[in-house]
Chain A
Amino acid sequence: MALPAGRPRPEPTPETQHFWDGTKAGELRLQRCQACEKAYFPPRPFCPGCGAREVSVFAASGRATLHSYVIHHRKVPGFEPPYAIAVVELEEGPRMMTNIVDCPQTPEALQLDMKLEVAFTPMDDEITLPLFRPAQGTPAGERA
């Protein structure tokens, strides 16, 4: 799937580079605190739960549920309305903003708590966005 031009492009920083390297490599990388075991997002080199700097990066399952969303009806650069701006809850706990692809952008099709899986979608050679689509049965982490 190709993304239309004009979508705001993220610029990685030293603290987030591993995340964007991950999406490019087909991994949804989260971080976990080694002291309190909290998994968290967005990236930072310390735990927002306890302040510890001892944290590790791990690949999340890519499984999520639809937590909430709006469906935007106005034309803006890079998007074809109507399109949903969604927040998903990852299996590991953290939430992230995303878009839901391979799914009608309607309240009927977009049911809260529906099962989703990550759909890595390249924006250009450097940036791949973690979009999500309705789960297709096979957990993403178990796919060959």
Chain B
Amino acid sequence: MSIAPGSIAIVGAAESTRIGSVPEMSQIMLHADAALNALADAGLKPSDIDGVACTGAMMTQQVAHYLGITPKWVDGTSVGGCSFMLHVRHAAAAIHAGYCNTVLITHGESGKSRINATPRPPEPQSLNGQFEAPFGPFGPPTLFPIPVLRYMKTYGVTHEQLAMVAVVQREWASRNPRAAQRDPITVDDVLNSRMIAYPFRLLQCCLVTDGGGALILTRADRAKDFPQRPAYILGTGESVETNMISQMEDFTSSRAFRVAGPEAFRSAGISHADVDHLMIYDAFAHLPLYGLEDLGFVGRGEAGAFIEARHTAPGGKLPMNTNGGGLSYTHTGMYGMFALQESVRQVRGTAPAQVEGVNISVCHGVGGMFSASGTIVLGRERP
């Protein structure tokens, strides 16, 4: 039995009061700050919440207790930056099953200031510690782009096309006062920026910021009683592949994307032509290309040319990453929450770079280095 599209809605959504550099808040307070803002957005108090989800070992109890919540359902799914897409999916199922009524999903990460931040050591006995760490990867910029050269060779994708991803997203960011980077850039600017891990340069790598976000979900039949226009959950999907990027089965495509994306479309009962707005988690410049292809918006190898032709840019037929993305808006380390926030804003009609007439938004996340994925389809109207 599946959940009918639109049965569950997002009725509260907010980011932390400030994002970017927030040295006055520890990680747990970034969770709480965003949660309090989302509760205010929904006109609720902590005592109205009976379900809590967030990432990290032992974090659900920390967040619930910090906020004074006694949940009867929790989800600590931690699969990286798309965990929040999975939380939305799991929360919808839990509410549908009657396990709880009103779920709070929180994210807080002191990615830049590193106050009370989560350490990420590769344990030397883990498979990553034995079979990847000894060869010199140090963090996502050295791991996530490893498949890119194979993708470029397979499809003839150019460095200029991969630079164009950053250029277009900066155009969106220039319309968003909260974006960290707003000055327009050119393909040459990208290709002349500092080399980080060939083939990627600084402007093709995500920002490193502090920030938080929170969402509140409940049954759609209650949703009209809240102060904000609901964002209806039409469809969802999730999957994982491998935590070792060296072991992903196809360097030109993500298996987790190919499972999560189509399932979200299927459960929503929508086709690509129905999509008015798209978010594809962009920790690095190649991710929107893999996402566009693996979700079926374009054919194999066509995404670079698609972006180069400005189809995802302001005024294009498929507006994508309209907050500026992880490349230009913000990236705490787990950006998926911010992609969801932008999808909610676009469906509500309240985004800084609002796309006209958004009825359906698809929000696609990645976790780890292509190791996990979650896809959420949001609708402005209940079907």
Contacts and interface: CB of A to CB of B under 8 A. Distances in A.
Contacts of A2: none
A107 B120 CA distance: 30
A95 interface: yes
Contacts of A112: 149-150, 153
Given A68-B147, A68-B149, A85-B142, A107 B198 contact: yes
Interface in B195-211: 195-200
A16 B240 CA distance: 23
B197 A67 contact: no
A122 B222 CA distance: 65
B67 interface: no
A10 B122 CA distance: 10
A8 B122 contact: yes
A82 B136 CA distance: 11
B371 to A, nearest CB: 14
Interface in B299-317: none
Task: Determine chain B's interface SS by DSSP, over half rule.
Answer: mixed
A141 interface: no
A97 B138 contact: no
A123 interface: yes
Contact of B134 (A10, A70, A74, A76): A10
Interface in A81-124: 82-83, 85-87, 95-99, 107, 112, 123
B130 interface: yes
A18 to B, nearest CB: 13
Contacts of B199: 70, 107
A80 to B, nearest CB: 10
Contacts of A20: 130
B129 A11 contact: yes
B52 interface: no
A70 B145 contact: yes
A71 interface: yes
Nearest to B147: A68
Interface residues of B, number: 35
A97 B198 contact: no
A78 interface: yes
**Most interface-central of A72, A78, A86 (chain B CB within 10 A):** A72
B273 to A, nearest CB: 34
A70 B142 contact: yes
B146 A68 contact: yes
Given A99-B136, A129-B134, A82 B149 contact: no
B127 A42 contact: yes
**Most interface-central of A13, A41, A73, A85 (chain B CB within 10 A):** A85
Interface string A51-79: 00000000000000001111111101011
B133 interface: yes
Given A69-B146, A82-B198, A42 B135 contact: no
Given A10-B131, A67-B251, A112-B150, A72 B138 contact: yes
Given A7-B134, A16-B130, A83-B136, A95 B246 contact: yes
B43 interface: no
Interface in A1-32: 7-13, 16, 20
B124 interface: yes
B162 to A, nearest CB: 13
Nearest to A97: B246
B129 A8 contact: yes
B133 A10 contact: yes
Interface string B109-137: 00000000000001011010111111111
Contacts of A123: 134
Interface of B: 122, 124-125, 127, 129-138, 142-143, 145-150, 153, 194-200, 244-247, 251
30 contacts: A8-B122, A8-B124, A9-B124, A10-B124, A10-B133, A13-B130, A16-B127, A16-B130, A42-B130, A42-B244, A68-B146, A68-B251, A69-B146, A70-B146, A70-B197, A72-B197, A73-B197, A74-B138, A74-B196, A76-B138, A82-B198, A83-B136, A85-B135, A85-B137, A85-B142, A85-B197, A97-B135, A97-B244, A107-B199, A112-B150
Interface of A: 7-13, 16, 20, 41-42, 67-74, 76, 78-79, 82-83, 85-87, 95-99, 107, 112, 123, 129
